[in-house]
């Protein structure tokens, strides 16, 4: 496929049965692109009220905080994770980068809480609430003409944010696109990080520029 044919394919993506555009130019252009998951946020509930002061006194790597509400921060080393625990038994866990480690970290946090004199702890209501991923394209991007062409899908306020915010309704994904070629992605699952990049790539490609 010639360079011109490849560019035309990016300019005119087709639609498939899933509602997402086909990417005829992707296999060659994205072959060496690193799409990384940087953080997975999960939440679960231990189904019992907790005494956070007691947990802070008896647990390891904990920090008892008061902001708008009382909470306890607990850190794990293996897998690397940070949990925020509320008296109601709700727990939010962050800093993991794979779904396997995210679930493992959540279960270990629940087991630690149980062993700290909370025998009624039950691990439940686990779910992934947010995945943060990113990649850097091999070219810079002209943000102004891109934002003008897709103004119904983007938020671009350069005085507040140097990037263009693009929302993909079909994937419930929010992307921030920077002129350097870096794209950050917020989605609901690990698989959707790659899908979101594949979706936006043929739209961005015509606005590429040399670094």
CA separation (Å) from 32 to 36, 47, 173, 191? 12, 45, 23, 18
Spans of all domains in the chain: 3-33+137-209, 40-129
pLDDT for res 19? 44
Can you name the CATH fold of 40-129? TATA-Binding Protein (3.30.310)
Would you say the CATH fold of 40-129 matches that of 3-33+137-209?
yes
| Range 76-85 contact pairs with CB under 8 angstroms and sequence separation of 24 or more | 76/105, 76/108, 76/109, 79/104, 79/105, 81/105, 81/109, 83/109, 85/50, 85/52, 85/55, 85/109, 85/113
Q: With beta carbons less than 8 A apart as the criterion, state whether 123 and 105 touch.
A: no
How far is the C-alpha of 122 from the C-alpha of 47, rounded, in Å?
6
Q: pLDDT digit string (tens) for 115-137?
A: 999 999 999 999 999 999 999 99
Helices (H), 34-162: 52-58, 99-115, 143-149
Strand partners, 81: 76
- For 70-80, write each residue's pLDDT tens digit: 899 999 999 99
| Distance of alpha carbon 13 from alpha carbon 69, whole angstroms | 48
3-33+137-209 has which fold?
TATA-Binding Protein (3.30.310)
What CA–CA distance (Å, rounded) separates 160 from 132? 21
Whether residue 87 is predicted with pLDDT greater than 60 in this model: the reply is: yes
Give the span between the Cα atoms of 92 and 161, in whole angstroms: 28
**pLDDT level of residue 1 (50, 70, 90 thresholds):** very low
Q: Which residues of 83-119 are buried (b: 16+ CB within 10 A; e: fewer)?
A: bebbeebebbbbbbbebebbbbbbebbbebbbebebe
Lowest mean pLDDT among 17-26, 107-116, 123-132, 200-209: 17-26
Task: Count Cα atoms within 13 angstroms, Cβ side, for 84.
Answer: 12
Residue range 50-69, pLDDT digits in tens = 999 999 999 999 998 777 67
Whether the pLDDT of residue 175 is over 80: the answer is yes
Does the pLDDT at position 170 exceed 70?
A: yes
Query: Tell me, what's the pLDDT at 206?
Result: 94
Average pLDDT of the segment spanning 135-159 = 93
pLDDT reading at 17 higher than 70: no
């Amino acid at each position: 496929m010639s360079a011109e044919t490849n560019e035309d394919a990016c300019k005119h993506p087709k639609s498939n049965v899933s509602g997402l555009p086909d990417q005829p130019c992707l296999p060659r252009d994205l072959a060496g692109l690193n799409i990384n998951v940087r953080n997975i946020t999960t939440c679960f509930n231990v189904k019992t009220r907790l005494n956070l002061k007691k947990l802070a006194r008896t647990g390891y790597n904990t920090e008892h905080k008061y902001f708008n509400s009382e909470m306890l921060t607990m850190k794990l080393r293996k897998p690397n994770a940070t949990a925020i625990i509320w008296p109601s038994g709700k727990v939010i866990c962050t800093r993991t980068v794979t779904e396997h480690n995210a679930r493992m970290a959540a279960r270990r946090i629940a087991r630690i809480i149980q062993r700290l004199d909370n025998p009624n702890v039950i691990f439940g209501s686990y779910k992934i609430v947010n995945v943060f991923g990113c990649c850097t394209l091999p070219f810079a991007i002209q943000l102004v003409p891109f934002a003008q062409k897709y103004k119904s899908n983007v938020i671009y306020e350069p005085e507040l944010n140097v990037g263009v915010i693009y929302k993909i309704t079909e994937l419930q994904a929010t992307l921030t696109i920077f002129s350097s070629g870096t794209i950050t992605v917020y989605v609901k699952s690990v698989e959707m990080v790659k899908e979101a990049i594949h979706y936006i790539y043929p739209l961005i490609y015509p606005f590429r520029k040399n670094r």
